[in-house]
Amino acid sequence: MNSTPFKTDERPTIVLTGASRGIGHATVKKFSSAGYRVITCSRQPFSDKCPWPSGPEDHIEVDLGSPESLNAAIPLIKERLKANDSKLHALVNNAGISPKDSDGQRLDSRNTPMDTWQTVFQVNFFAPIILARGLFDELKAAQGAVVNVTSIAGSRVHPFAGTAYATSKAALAALTREMAADFGPHGIRVNAIAPGEIDTSILSPGTEKIVETIPLRRLGATKEVAETIYFLCSAPSTYVNGAEIHINGGQHV
Ligand SMILES: NC(=O)c1ccc[n+]([C@@H]2O[C@H](COP(=O)([O-])OP(=O)(O)OC[C@H]3O[C@@H](n4cnc5c(N)ncnc54)[C@H](OP(=O)(O)O)[C@@H]3O)[C@@H](O)[C@H]2O)c1
């Protein structure tokens, strides 16, 4: 049964960054099981442990922290999309980094080294817009969607997330609005999701104290985030544009 909103003769395709772990990994599983072709991007080579079909052919090894690596990856992605009439149904900008200091402590606005700040912005902020601009024609051809993964830290000071991370996510939220205005007239929707405390390796020790104050009293699961990303890329959300959906168990109420 075709559970996607697309015709069976047109297998929908997404490009997903940060696919190797956490939220990205759950997102590959969600879209693959719904019949999508998923082109994954991360610094790691494809792992044979991953069970999905066409894995190695649909994986792009790229360091989003390097403008050169990213610029080299875009033509490779375009080449892979030729098999789908150069149509891209969704771009999910999920990869993100949240560096700490050498003792694992939060890097604040006084002590974040400028090169760290720049790398964080390259991965968390510049890579999403470079990819979206680079794949604009393919997104337009499919009347596709972009989902940017922001964070609860983009709208309030977080005890563990550093300043560079928080400001990069705030900038990505603002970019989502700008892109929604600029890409919308071309039939491309652009939205964001802002996770709270989701059970992945990005969490810091001490998160259990935060969980005690979250109305739902638990961490979020990666699957729950993947479901919302899927919603924003599929038919039930075709009039949702420029939104940022908070997935945080009520942490900010
Ligand atoms: N988990 C949470 O509670 C939470 C909360 C708010 C927001 N978020 C956001 O959600 C997104 C996913 O988070 P997560 O918790 O799933 O993170 P994660 O488990 O740390 O995974 C991060 C992913 O990003 C990729 N990545 C990191 N640097 C990269 C680079 N330079 N080039 C290419 N890929 C790179 C990693 O792949 P490789 O290492 O294989 O390259 C990995 O697949 C991030 O944007 C994060 O900021 C997470």
pLDDT in tens, 24-60: 999 999 999 999 999 999 998 887 777 666 677 899 9
214 CA distance to ligand 1 centroid (A)?
A: 22
Confidence of residue 80 (pLDDT cuts 50, 70, 90): very high
* Confidence at residue 51, expressed as pLDDT on a 0 to 100 scale: 65
Give percent above pLDDT 70 in the chain.
Answer: 94
Interstrand relation of 145-149 and 189-195 (parallel, antiparallel or unpaired)? parallel
Task: Kindly give the distance from the C-alpha atom of residue 65 to the centroid of ligand 1, in angstroms, as a whole number.
Answer: 12
Identity of the residue numbered 50: C
Q: Show the domains of the chain with their CATH numbers.
A: 13-247 (3.40.50.720)
Is 22's C-beta closer than 6 angstroms to any atom of ligand 1?
yes
User: What is the pTM for the complete model shown?
Assistant: 0.95
Q: Which of 98, 200, 203 to mutate to test the pocket of ligand 1 (most atoms within 8 A of CB)?
A: 200
- Report residue 203's pLDDT band, with 50, 70 and 90 as the boundaries: confident
- Rounded to the nearest angstrom, the distance between the alpha carbon of 1 and the centre of ligand 1 is 32
Ligand 1 near 119 CB (within 6 A): no
Question: What's the chain's average pLDDT?
Answer: 93
The pair of three-digit structure tokens given for residue 160, joined into one six-digit string: 């563990």
pLDDT per residue as tens digits for the range 134-191: 999 999 999 999 999 999 999 999 999 999 999 999 999 999 999 999 999 999 999 9
Task: Kindly report, residue by residue over 217-230, the tens digit of the pLDDT.
Answer: 999 999 999 999 99
The whole-number average pLDDT for the span 106-115 is: 97
Does the Cβ of 138 fall within 6 Å of ligand 1?
no
Nearest CA to ligand 1 atom 47: 96
pLDDT classification of 2: cutoffs 50, 70, 90: very low
User: Is 228's C-beta closer than 6 angstroms to any atom of ligand 1?
Assistant: no
How far does residue 101's CA lie from ligand 1's centre (Å)?
Answer: 18
Give catalytic residue positions. Answer: 165
Ligand 1 contact, 112 CB (< 6 A): no
pLDDT value at residue 1: 39
